[in-house]
C-alpha cells in the first residue's frame, strides 16, 4: 500500500512537528525535505559546488551536525533557488514518497511539484511573528546565541526568497487543506492534520 501525505508551508510553521506526529500516528515514514537543501547549503558553505553536492548527496549527509543553524537555513534557501539542485533531489524524494506503508514528506513544493498526486496535501502556516517566536525558542533551547529580531529577519528573508523564486516557488497546491497554527496548540494542530488524513483514507 502506498499513501503519500504532502505537508508544505513557510519557514518554522510547525510542519516538522506535525509531520513527525502524523507519521507516528499512522505508522508512516517521514522525510523532512528541508534537510536535503540544508545539507547542500552546508556543503556550499564548506566550499563545494551546490549542484555537484546535490548530485552526490548521501542519505547519511542528512544526519550531519549543524544543519539547524540560521546560517545553514539561509544557505539552504539560496541553493534551493537553483533548478539543477532541485532536479538532482527529485528522484530520492519521489522514491521515498512511494515506499510501501505510507510516507509523509514536508517541505515547500511537495504537493505542487514532487508529489502532485499525493493522497493528502496540507499547507501549514502561521503569522511571521508566531513562527519567529517558536523558532527563537527552539534555537535558544539548543543553546544557540540568537535574538528574536534576527530570527524574525531570517524567517522573513527566506519566505520572500522561497515565494518569489522561479523554481518551484512556495505556494499552496490548489487542492491543499490550509491549517493556520497561529492560535493552535501542538495537539490541536496535530489533531486537525490527523482528521484530514483520516477522511482521505
Residues contributing to the site for ligand CDP (CB under 6 A): 11-12, 16, 33-34, 37-38, 73, 76-77, 80, 107-110, 158, 162
Neighbouring residues of 131: CB distance < 8 A, sequence distance ≥ 6 = 10, 11, 12, 13, 155
Closer Cβ to ligand CDP, 108 or 121, answer by number: 108
Q: Which is nearer to ligand CDP, 16 or 172 (CB)?
A: 16
Please list the residues that pair with 104 across neighbouring strands: 5, 30
User: In whole angstroms, what is the distance from residue 67 CA to residue 138 CA?
Assistant: 14
CB atoms within 10 A of CB 184: 18
Taking the complex as a whole, the smallest distance from the CB of residue 158 to ligand CDP amounts, in Å, to 4
For residues 168 and 85, is the Cβ–Cβ distance under 8 A? no
**Whole-angstrom distance, CA of residue 133 vs CA of residue 13:** 11
In the complex, least distance from residue 108 CB atom to ligand CDP, rounded to whole angstroms: 4
Considering the complex, state which of residue 39 and residue 177 has its C-beta at the smaller distance from ligand CDP.
39
CA distance 3 to 100: 8
CB of 183 to ligand CDP, least distance (A): 19
Which residue, 186 or 198, is less far from ligand CDP as judged by CB? 186
Least CB distance to ligand CDP at residue 15 (A): 6
Comparison of 52 and 81: residue with beta carbon closer to ligand CDP: 81
**Of 19, 20, 17, 23, nearest in space to 7 by CA:** 19
Amino acid at each position: 500500500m502506498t499513501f503519500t501525505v504532502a505537508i508544505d508551508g513557510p519557514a518554522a510553521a510547525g510542519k516538522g512537528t506535525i509531520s513527525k506526529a502524523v507519521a507516528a500516528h499512522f505508522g508512516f515514514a517521514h522525510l523532512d525535505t528541508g534537510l536535503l537543501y540544508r545539507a547542500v547549503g552546508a556543503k556550499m558553505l564548506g566550499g563545494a559546488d551546490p549542484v555537484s553536492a546535490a548530485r552526490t548527496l548521501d542519505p547519511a549527509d542528512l544526519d550531519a551536525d549543524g544543519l539547524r543553524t540560521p546560517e545553514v537555513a539561509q544557505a539552504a534557501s539560496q541553493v534551493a533557488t537553483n533548478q539543477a539542485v532541485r532536479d538532482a533531489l527529485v528522484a530520492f524524494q519521489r522514491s521515498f514518497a512511494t515506499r510501501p506503508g505510507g510516507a509523509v514528506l514536508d517541505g515547500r513544493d511537495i504537493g505542487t511539484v514532487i508529489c502532485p498526486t499525493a493522497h493528502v496535501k496540507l499547507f501549514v502556516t502561521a503569522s511571521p511573528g508566531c513562527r519567529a517566536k517558536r523558532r527563537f525558542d527552539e534555537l535558544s533551547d539548543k543553546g544557540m546565541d540568537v535574538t528574536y529580531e534576527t530570527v524574525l529577519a531570517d524567517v522573513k528573508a527566506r519566505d520572500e526568497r522561497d515565494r518569489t523564486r522561479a523554481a518551484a516557488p512556495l505556494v499552496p497546491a490548489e487542492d491543499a487543506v490550509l491549517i493556520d497554527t497561529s492560535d493552535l496548540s501542538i495537539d490541536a494542530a496535530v489533531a486537525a492534520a490527523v482528521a484530514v488524513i483520516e477522511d482521505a483514507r
